[in-house]
Structure 1
C-alpha cells in the first residue's frame, strides 16, 4: 500500500523528515519532474542506433602490424578496449586534496588569529577548507547568542540537528539545554553557545586527535574574542579539548578549572552534556548539582 505525506499526521511527518535528514537526504524533489523510465528507454535506443554505425568504421581501420604501429583503440561500454579510437581522457576527480595535518593546523591558526571580531572569524571558518570534517558537513556551526553576556556554554561537536539548522544545541538536545539553563535563570539568548568542533563528523563519530587540533584554534579564538568571565563545558570531549588530561567527565564534573586562552585565564566548570541526561535520566541529579555550583558564581559577573 502506497502512502503519501497527506496520510501522515504532523508528528509522523516530522519524524520521517528527521529520518531522511539523518540518512543524508538533502533534496526531496527535483526542480522538474523526470520520467526515469522514458529516459532509460531513450538511452537504450541511442545505444542501439550507434552500434551499426560504429561497426563498419572499426572494421575498416588498417591493422598496421608489419611496421610495428598499432591501430588506435576505443573503450567499449563495458570498460574493454576495442580497436578504432583512442581511449577517453581520465575524468577529473572532485575529491578534496589531502593536506598534511601540521600544515592544516598552521593554516587554521593563521585564519583564526587574523580575525579581529566574531563576524570576521565566522567568515574565515566558512572559507577554511583544510579540515576534512568540513567536506562532509552541511553547515559550519558557529557561536550563537549574546557575545557580551560574559557567560559561554561550550559543547563538543554538532549533531545532525545542529548541522541541519546551522546552530549549536538544536533539536532535542537543545531543548534539554534550554531546560538546564532555565533552572538557573538563564536562556540561550543571555549566554553565548558554541561547539569545540564546528563541523559535524560523519555518523556523529568522535573527531580524531588531528581533527581536534585543526579545530582548536577556532574555538580558542571564539573564546578570546568573546572574553567570557565564566564558561560551562559540557561533555567529555569538550573537557579534554580545552582542559586536557584523560579523566572522564564523571570524575571532572562539578569542579572549577582555569582555562588559559591567549594569556587570559577563564574559570570553567565541567558538567554532563544534554545527551548524557537523555541517555541516562539518573544523570539529571548530577547535572543539577553542577548547575547550582555554576549559579553560585553568576554573582561574580
Structure 2
C-alpha cells in the first residue's frame, strides 16, 4: 500500500471515529449514542508529564484573587521551554495567578496547529496540564479527524489557572490577550484553532457564532496567522447535537490543506 493510500485510510478511520464519538446515531436511532463510552482512542491524547492527584475542588474552595497587576512584557518568557517552566513554577504571568493549581500548555515550538481555549477544565487542573480528561479525549479525536495527532499540536489557553467564577474576568482580558499573542510569537504556528466564545472574542474581536465557518486571521507583529474557530469540547459534550456544526468548522482546515 502506498504512503498516500495509508494516510487516506488513517484519515478516513479518524473521521469515522469522530462521528462515532459525536453520537451520529441520534439522527437515525430512537436513543442517542452515549459517545463518552466509546472505545478509548489508540493514541493517548497526551502523555502526562508528572501526574499529580488532587481532589476535585468546589467552586467555593478556589481562592478568590484580586485583579493581577500588569506584568511588564519584557519579563515574559522568550522561549516555549521557558514558558512551560514559568507557568508550572507559578511565575507572575497573565492568567497564572487566579488561584488553585495550574494546567500548563503542552507542545513544542513550530507546531503546525496551535489550539487555544479560554481556561482549564477541572480535569486539566487536577492533572496539571491541558488536554487531560474527557475534553482531552474529544479534542484528540477532533485533531485526528483533520489529520493532526494531538501530540503534533501546541495546546494552550488564555489562562493556566481557573478563576473561582469559572469565567475570565473582563478586566483581565486585554492582558490575557496580549500574553497569548506573545505565545503565538513563540510557537510560530501555521494555523490557529480557537475554541469557545471567550477565546474567539479575545483573539478575533468577534462573536463565536458569527466567526464560525470562515477562515479568519490573527494579526501578530505585522503578519497574519490563519485561524478557524469552533465550539469548545466542553460545549460539545454538553450539547452533542452541535458536533455536526463543529465538523463543518473543522472542514475549513481540511479544505485549506496548505494551512497545515
TM-score (norm 2): 0.70
In structure 2, the residue matched to 1:166 is 128
Q: Which digits, 9 at most, give the CA deviation of each residue in 1:106-158, with x for residues without a partner? A: x152322xx3211223344444337686252211x332124322211111111
Distance in 1 between the 2:178 and 2:122 partners? Answer: 23
In structure 1, the residue matched to 2:99 is 136
In structure 1, the residue matched to 2:179 is 218
Paired residues, what number? Answer: 205
In structure 2, the residue matched to 1:151 is 113
Report the CA distance shift for 1:145/1:161 in structure 2 as closer, same or farther (over 3 A).
Answer: same
The one of 155, 158, 167 aligned to 1:193: 155
Which of the pair has the greater relative contact order for Cα pairs under 8 Å at 6+ separation?
2
Pairing 1:239–2:200 present: yes
8 A contact 1:108–1:215 mirrored in 2 = no
Structure 2: runs of 5 or more not aligned: 1-52
- The structure with the largest alpha-carbon Rg is 1
Pairing 1:268–2:227 present: yes
- Describe the SS at the equivalent of 2:228: strand
TM-score (norm 1): 0.61
8 A contact 2:96–2:159 mirrored in 1 = no
8 A contact 1:198–1:215 mirrored in 2 = no
Distance in 1 between the 2:95 and 2:184 partners? Answer: 23
Deviation, structure 1 residue 240: 0.6
8 A contact 2:191–2:226 mirrored in 1 = yes
Distance in 1 between the 2:74 and 2:91 partners? Answer: 11
Structure 1: runs of 5 or more not aligned: 1-17, 27-94
8 A contact 2:111–2:154 mirrored in 1 = yes
The one of 266, 274, 286 aligned to 2:245: 286
The one of 157, 182, 192 aligned to 2:144: 182
8 A contact 1:143–1:192 mirrored in 2 = yes
Report the CA distance shift for 1:222/1:19 in structure 2 as closer, same or farther (over 3 A).
Answer: closer
CA RMSD of aligned residues (A): 2.8
